């Protein structure tokens, strides 16, 4: 079967199962299996594909029919212009998470800093920051041993393993070092809203990285409290938050002696990250 017909059949199948991005997904999955670019598929759309490739492709499309994210099917996701390995132990990196990186690199450009990434997952936040801040080093912690394994692989792939470490750690028990920057994309979905997430997310992505408790702020509160002890004087805390959580998070920060020095809005006008600095130290 030729490439174009194969993609069309897969796309129509996904469309019938209400997969909105059916055409794009069909192309990405096939290009990954064939280890070529999407552009190659378009230019060579009359090329025949082997039975072996077709067999793998049909199995992958069945996974997508079941709403498994494309990133888990291909095992990777682009973030900050790099490809990051992902699996079901890590969240799929999302474009809005890049907002916090823009803010941070502008604060610390050309400086040498020590970074802690809490709930590092695939390591995409820490590694993307280290890619831009050439003189800096960082540690990523996560309670998932499988996530830490993926983060280490991403570090090696990006040649950043000499300036990054990834450790399996519960935040409550972490008391190592002092940091110029603490950054986190914590779970922030209120428990009652978990059922409203898309099937791609709720049936496949790790719930422990999504569920933020009754008000969605459980982990955010812990990170702010812990940062009291782990931040250096004049250090910064950068947190990604969910829609509608800005006022509550800003209040918690102020209550814990932090002063907000920056925030970033997504394309819908929602505050999605807050950068703050510690004013009062214990």
Q: How confident is the prediction along the chain (282 residues), in pLDDT tens digits per residue?
A: 899 999 999 999 999 999 999 999 999 999 999 999 989 998 988 999 999 999 999 999 999 999 999 999 999 999 999 999 999 999 999 888 998 998 899 899 889 999 999 999 999 999 999 999 999 999 999 999 999 999 999 999 999 999 999 999 999 899 999 999 999 999 878 787 777 878 888 777 777 777 677 787 889 999 999 998 999 988 999 999 988 889 999 999 999 999 999 998 888 888 999 999 987 655
61 Cβ contact partners less than 8 Å away, ≥ 6 residues apart: 10, 13, 14, 26, 29
Supply the pLDDT for residue 151.
Answer: 97
278 Cβ contact partners less than 8 Å away, ≥ 6 residues apart: 227, 228, 231, 233, 234, 235, 237, 257, 258, 259
- Spell out the domain ranges in the chain: 3-66, 83-278
Contact 183, 241 (CB under 8 A): no
83-278 belongs to which homologous superfamily?
Answer: Vaccinia Virus protein VP39 (3.40.50.150)
Burial class (CB in 10 A: 0-12, 13-18, 19+), 85: buried
Supply the pLDDT for residue 265.
Answer: 87
> What are the two backbone dihedrals, phi and then psi, of residue 114, each rounded to the nearest 5 degrees?
-110, 125
Instruction: Give the C-alpha separation, 232 to 236, whole Å.
Output: 8
Contact 264, 99 (CB under 8 A): yes
What pTM did the predictor assign? 0.91
Supply the pLDDT for residue 212.
Answer: 74
Instruction: Give the C-alpha separation, 138 to 127, whole Å.
Output: 8
72 Cβ contact partners less than 8 Å away, ≥ 6 residues apart: 63, 86, 87, 88, 92, 204
Instruction: Give the C-alpha separation, 61 to 46, whole Å.
Output: 21
């Amino acid at each position: 079967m030729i490439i174009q017909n194969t993609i069309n059949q897969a796309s129509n199948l996904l469309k019938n199962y209400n997969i909105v991005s059916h055409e794009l997904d069909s192309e990405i999955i096939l290009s990954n299996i064939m280890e070529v670019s999407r552009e190659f598929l378009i230019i060579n759309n009359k090329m025949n594909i082997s039975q072996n490739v077709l067999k793998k492709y049909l199995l992958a499309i069945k996974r997508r029919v079941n709403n498994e994210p494309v990133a888990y099917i291909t095992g990777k996701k682009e973030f900050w212009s790099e490809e990051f390995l992902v699996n079901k132990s890590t969240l799929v990196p999302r474009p809005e998470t890049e907002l916090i990186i823009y803010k941070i690199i502008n604060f610390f450009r050309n400086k040498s800093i020590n970074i802690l990434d809490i709930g590092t997952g695939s390591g995409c936040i820490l590694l993307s920051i280290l890619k831009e801040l050439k003189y800096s080093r960082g540690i990523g912690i996560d309670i998932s041993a499988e996530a830490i394994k993926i983060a280490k692989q991403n570090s090696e792939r990006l040649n950043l393993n000499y300036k990054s470490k990834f450790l399996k750690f519960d935040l409550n028990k972490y008391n190592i070092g002092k940091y110029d920057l603490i950054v986190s994309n914590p779970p922030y979905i209120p428990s009652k809203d978990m059922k409203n997430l898309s099937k791609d997310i709720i049936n496949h992505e790790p719930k422990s990285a999504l569920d933020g408790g009754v008000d969605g702020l459980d982990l955010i509160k812990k990170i702010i409290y812990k940062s009291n002890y782990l931040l250096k004087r004049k250090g910064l805390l950068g947190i990604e938050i969910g829609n509608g959580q800005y006022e509550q998070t800003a209040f918690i920060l102020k209550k814990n002696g932090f002063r907000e020095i920056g925030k970033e809005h997504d394309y819908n006008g929602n505050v999605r990250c807050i950068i703050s600095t510690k004013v009062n130290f214990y």
